[in-house]
């Protein structure tokens, strides 16, 4: 082969640039075939190489020769190098395809090479039986390592996972998560089916203690599935008052209990004491209870707190006055038209539209120094992490309460309020629904409340009807009974930063 002299001379002393090494390896990593052989590299060495090629931070020195000494069992001196036992992929070592190994060895030397035979297991997820994914592991890998790999891939935490050998859709053998037995020793072979079972907590029902308890249960359920509130109470917290303490204990019980239903009796006695208006037979409303609870659970209510700006204009003199009001939930009026269905955004736009104040609601204009007709305009000024929307389905007159049964078509996964927020510094305000409090009027005017809430980690919705809990499809969550909507903000900058940390080894899966 004719090699120009200069290149042959220079290649001895000139290294490729980090960018070039990164590009070549990433090209070799794409287009892999299932049958490709793999080699093991010490994670310690591999990390130092990644730091060298990664532009972030910069300036890491070029690593020395490939050094696998920390993962090799040096007690066996004969024959091929043997890996130490109980190593975990991506913690102690990484696997690279044959081509990548060859190239790195060319650039860095030493080693020694440790080829590895991989097997692929076919993982069925009990929660979604149509979903089968490949799990790639060395046949020498331990059952413990299999658990770590499966949990990393499915986002399930280790203590909630159970993995079974699975044959003809039947569970044949439960694999012990603490076992150091290898896949081979456990009889797991290429293309073997395994099944993941997950202990889903947070599905205990709430016992109805009588009176209007279903209303309390529905409200509590929505709060119990509110991530920042849950995080706060599942930590060790210093409680302020008796009600807060009782609420925290109830949440802990709901999220740790394997019971079918939890009785909120202790919380109820504290609530009766703190807010006696909810204790009687009178049919209070879940929105009133929510407001009252959030006012008392002030350690956590911040996450629901937003701000509205209202602008009053006096057309006579042009005087403008702004006021800013905090809210923990936004109450949206529903139009009283006979349309059976309206879009959520039209409700919101209606709510924010400029409108004249009624004749009984004149404004004392500070300019004219007398009561004037005025126009009022609302703007969303700041929106919170948890946005609670109250659909005002009840119209109260002197003699009766009328319920508006209009179907409100609200977004479930993509409520984008960015363009409505006035004080936002270019941030986006994207929200995702995770709980709904439903209100029903049955035969004879009997009221009832239930809740839909989502197990966010598993992306699954459940219907909570006092002590009865059942899985439901996302599509049923949107109904004419929807009364309180609980949204959480998603896609904020911190979340994006976390999800963009993808390492080279992840790309190869």
**Using CB under 5 A as the criterion, which residues of the chain lie in contact with Zn ion when the complex forms?**
314, 317, 319, 365, 367-368
Structure tokens at 57: 């931070």
Shortest distance in whole angstroms from residue 363 CB to Zn ion = 8
Contact indicator for 301, 328 with CB cutoff of 8 Å = yes
Torsional sign, CA 286, 291, 297, 299: positive
Residue 166 and residue 417: Cα distance in Å, rounded?
A: 46
Q: Nearer to Zn ion by C-beta: 114 or 374?
A: 374
Q: Nearer to Zn ion by C-beta: 377 or 382?
A: 377
Shortest distance in whole angstroms from residue 313 CB to Zn ion = 9
- Concatenating the DSSP letter of every residue in 428-471 gives --EEEEEEEEEEEE-GGG-EEEEEEEEEGGGTEEEEEETTEEEE
Q: Is 494 helix (H, G, I), strand (E, B) or coil?
A: helix
Nearest alpha carbon to residue 171 among 181, 160, 183, 163: 163
| Residue tagged active-site, from 213, 222, 347, 365 | 213
Residue 50 and residue 22: Cα distance in Å, rounded?
A: 9
Q: Nearer to Zn ion by C-beta: 126 or 367?
A: 367
Contact indicator for 151, 198 with CB cutoff of 8 Å = no
| Annotation marks residue 448 as catalytic | yes
Neighbours of 472 (CB within 10 A): 12
Residue 34 and residue 191: Cα distance in Å, rounded?
A: 11
Region for 204 from its dihedrals, namely left if φ exceeds 0, alpha if ψ lies in -120 to 50, beta otherwise = beta
Question: Chain-centre distance of CA 118, in angstroms?
Answer: 33
| Annotation marks residue 304 as catalytic | no
State in Å, rounded, how far the first CA of the chain is from the last one.
37
Contact indicator for 206, 466 with CB cutoff of 8 Å = yes
Q: Nearer to Zn ion by C-beta: 320 or 353?
A: 320
Residue 428 and residue 418: Cα distance in Å, rounded?
A: 5
Structure tokens at 307: 């701000």
Shortest distance in whole angstroms from residue 310 CB to Zn ion = 17
The residue behind tokens 């009328």 is 402
The residue behind tokens 């004080």 is 423
| Residue tagged active-site, from 98, 239, 448, 463 | 448
Task: Classify residue 160 as exposed, middle or buried by CB count within 10 Å of its CB (0-12, 13-18, 19+).
Answer: middle
Q: Which residues are catalytic?
A: 213, 448
């Amino acid at each position: 082969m004719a090699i120009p002299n200069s290149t042959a001379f220079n290649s001895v002393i000139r290294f490729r640039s980090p960018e070039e090494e990164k590009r070549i390896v990433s090209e070799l990593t794409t287009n892999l075939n299932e049958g490709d052989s793999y080699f093991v590299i010490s994670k310690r060495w591999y990390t130092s190489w990644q730091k060298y090629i990664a532009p972030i931070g910069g300036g890491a020195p070029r690593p020395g020769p490939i050094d696998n000494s920390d993962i090799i069992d040096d007690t066996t001196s004969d024959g091929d190098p043997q890996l130490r036992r109980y190593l975990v992929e991506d913690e102690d070592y990484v696997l690279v395809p044959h081509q990548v190994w060859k190239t790195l060895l060319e650039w860095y030397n030493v080693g020694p090479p440790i080829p590895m035979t991989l097997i692929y297991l076919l993982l069925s997820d009990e929660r979604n039986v149509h979903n089968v994914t490949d799990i790639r592991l060395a046949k020498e890998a331990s059952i413990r390592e299999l658990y770590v790999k499966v949990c990393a891939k499915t986002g399930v935490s280790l203590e909630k996972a159970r993995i079974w050998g699975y044959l003809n859709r039947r569970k044949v053998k439960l694999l012990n998560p603490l076992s150091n037995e290898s896949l081979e020793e456990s009889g797991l072979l290429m293309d073997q089916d395994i099944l993941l079972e997950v202990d889903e907590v947070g599905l205990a029902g709430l016992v109805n203690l009588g009176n209007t308890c279903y209303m309390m249960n529905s409200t509590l359920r929505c709060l119990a599935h509110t991530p920042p509130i849950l995080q706060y109470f599942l930590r060790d917290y210093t409680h302020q008052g008796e009600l807060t303490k009782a609420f925290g204990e109830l949440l802990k019980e709901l999220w740790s209990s394997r019971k079918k239903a939890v009785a909120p009796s202790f919380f109820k006695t504290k609530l009766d004491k703190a807010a006696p208006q909810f204790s009687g037979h009178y049919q209070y409303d879940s929105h009133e209870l929510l407001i009252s609870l959030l006012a008392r659970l002030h350690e956590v209510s911040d996450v629901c707190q937003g701000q509205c700006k209202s602008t009053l204009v006096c057309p006579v003199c042009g005087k403008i006055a702004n006021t800013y009001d905090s809210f923990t939930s936004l109450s949206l009026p529903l139009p009283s038209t006979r349309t059976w269905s309206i879009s959520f955004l039209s409700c919101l736009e209606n709510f924010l539209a400029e409108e004249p104040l009624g004749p009984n609601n004149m404004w004392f204009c500070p300019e004219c120094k007398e009561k004037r007709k005025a126009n009022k305009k609302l703007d969303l000024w700041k929106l919170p992490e948890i946005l609670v929307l109250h659909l005002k389905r009840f119209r109260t007159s002197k003699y009766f309460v009328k319920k508006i049964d209009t179907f409100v078509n609200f977004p479930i996964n993509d409520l984008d309020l960015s363009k409505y927020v006035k004080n936002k510094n270019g941030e986006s305000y994207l929200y995702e629904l995770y709980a709904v409090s439903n209100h029903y009027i049955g035969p004879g005017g009997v009221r009832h409340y239930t809740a839909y809430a989502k197990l966010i980690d598993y992306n699954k919705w459940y219907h909570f009807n006092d002590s009865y809990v059942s899985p439901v499809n996302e599509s049923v969550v949107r109904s004419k009974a929807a009364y309180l909507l609980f949204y959480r903000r998603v896609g904020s900058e911190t979340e994006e930063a976390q999800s963009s940390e993808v390492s080279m080894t992840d790309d190869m899966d």
